[in-house]
Amino acid sequence: MIWLIGGLVLIGAGVVSAYLPRLRAHAARKRAAWATAKAAIAAAGVSRDACAADVPEARRLLAEAEALSGGPDAARTATELAERADRLWQEACDE
């Protein structure tokens, strides 16, 4: 019985000690990725406000980016969408 409990404790300790840093690293990555995405969305918003013309495609992309949520992968997708919207608005302004 003591062996069973000891074994379970040992396995549990192993799992926890392996899993906690992973969870923590995942959370940190998620935070960082979402911060990058928020910055990209904000930058796209700046470009939109600076541009007089209306670009429906960019608007759609930005809305899509803002609607996304989830892990680091979703954040990266949001970043890409926002950057594409940003570029579209900047090109529309330059013309």
Partner 1 sequence: MSKNTFGIARWVLAGVAIAVAVIFLLQQRQGDIDVSYGESPSSDYEEGESGELSDHTVPSTDEMVRQVQAEPVVRLPGASAKWNRQWLREHVDTAGVRLLFAPPGLDEQETERVLAVVEDDSIADAPFDLVTVTGTKVRGGPYTAAADDIDGFQRQFAAGDVTGLLAAVITGMRDAGDPPTAPGLTWREPTSAELGTVTADLERDRLHVADGATLSDVPGNAANAFPDTEPMIVALPQQDTGRPVPDYAPALAERFPDTPVVVLYGNYVDYAGPYRDQFYEVATAGVYGMLGDRISRYDYPQDNVLFAWLNKVTDIRYAGLFDRPLPYQPFDPLKVTLPALPFVFAACVLGVIVLSVTALRRRPSHGRPPTVRLAALSALSVEVSGLTTEASNPSLTRAITHLDAARERDGSAVGRRAAHNLLDKAEHELAETARLIERSDYEPRHYTAGWGV
Of 43, 91, 33, the residue nearest 62 (C-alpha):
43
**32 contributes a contact to partner 1 by CB under 8 A:** yes
Which CB atom, from 11 or from 50, has the smaller least distance to partner 1? 50
| Cα–Cα distance, 95 to 89 (Å, whole number) | 10
Select the span of 7-15, 27-35, 53-61, 62-70 touching partner 1 (CB under 8 A).
27-35
Of 72, 69, 49, the residue nearest 59 (C-alpha):
49
Q: Interface with partner 1 by CB under 8 A: which residues?
A: 25, 28-29, 31-33, 35-36, 38-40, 42-43, 46-47, 49-50, 86, 90, 93
